Amino acid sequence: MKLTDAFADLPERLLDWYDQHARDLPWRIGPAARARGVKPDPYRVWLAEIMLQQTTVTHASKYYQNFTGRWPTVEALAAARDEDVMAAWAGLGYYARARNLLKCARRVAADGQFPETAKSLQELPGIGPYTSGAIAALAFGARAAAVDGNVERVFARLCALKRPMKDEKPFIRRTVQGLVPGDRPAEFAEALMDLGATICTPKRPNCLICPLTDMCAARAEGDPEIYPIKAAKTAKPTRAGHVYLLVHGSDILLERRPETGLLGGMLALPGSDWTESPPAPGAGAPAPAEWSPIGIVTHVFTHFALTLQVAQAEISGPRPEGLWTAIDAVDGLPSVFKKAFKLLQSAGPAA
């Protein structure tokens, strides 16, 4: 018997639950509206899915509202200035997503529409297997598997999968694809996401109210929380550097990072390279000055942990060329530089 045969009534049971308990999210039209024939806007589906990569629903929601208010169509976003989009994205992290967001918007605007299949969607910048399946299902009603972390957790528990998740991903994708109903693929995708987000949660899953509890192998074993099986963690490498707060009157010196690389195209504070060994004192300083150490900030990126020594100086008279900005107007800094900038406000005038 195929595994999907054992789950034959899963789609119907899950959709019955979803019709009663669907989350109200700003980018969704909801099951009632879909039943009336309301069609989703592919632009808004795509925008939400890109924002939700590596980001929580709560955190992404305010950014989604801001973006759709400023750029209500893919054409409007395609016409936006790069620096405006990067500033609006600040705080969402993984800034390559913002660069790919613009590249994708401009290609879609040039083509006149989004492609409608998962395969063709993957040809666009920033769209991988999960995102392509989600957009195809949610925006176009394609019978495509949308497998995010929530869905992986649900099926790791339903099947009590014994290997680390990275080894089980292909199996889960095949299983979900085999279960997607032809008549309600969008709602099925949303229902699985909602089940993982609200009931089959990472800690303390609420099995008593789960519509699938009697078919869950992990529940039968008695300890569903141990799934998914986690791979052994490896320690993150560390890097160090300096960052500088150079003040002239009521202005502060900023810079824009190179388009390629980590935090590419984002506003930043001047500083040294980030290296495995701490750089020499004063490395990367934007100008000769009486630099006063005012603190340390730490930040964890995907592949390494960073420690920055923060120094401040005030200068008068001629100032070096650069991107000078009023201190009270600074906006759009990525989180790591925002942490350093906050030290300026707490440190007060430089000695």
Residues with active-site annotation: 49
CA distances in angstroms from 268 to 61, 183, 187, 239, 243, listed in the order given: 25, 49, 41, 17, 9
d(CA 47, CA 57): 13
CA distances in angstroms from 36 to 22, 110, 136, 228, listed in the order given: 16, 32, 20, 38
Q: Spell out the residues 6+ positions from residue 103 whose beta carbon is closer than 8 angstroms to its own.
A: 125, 126
φ and ψ of 198, to 5 deg:
-115, -25
Which DSSP string do the residues of 208-247 spell out, in sequence order? GG-TTGGG-HHHHHT-GGGPSPPPPP-PPPEEEEEEEEEE
**Residue 226 CB: number of other CB atoms within 10 A?**
13
26: β partners: none
Q: Is-contact 289 221, C-beta < 8 A?
A: no
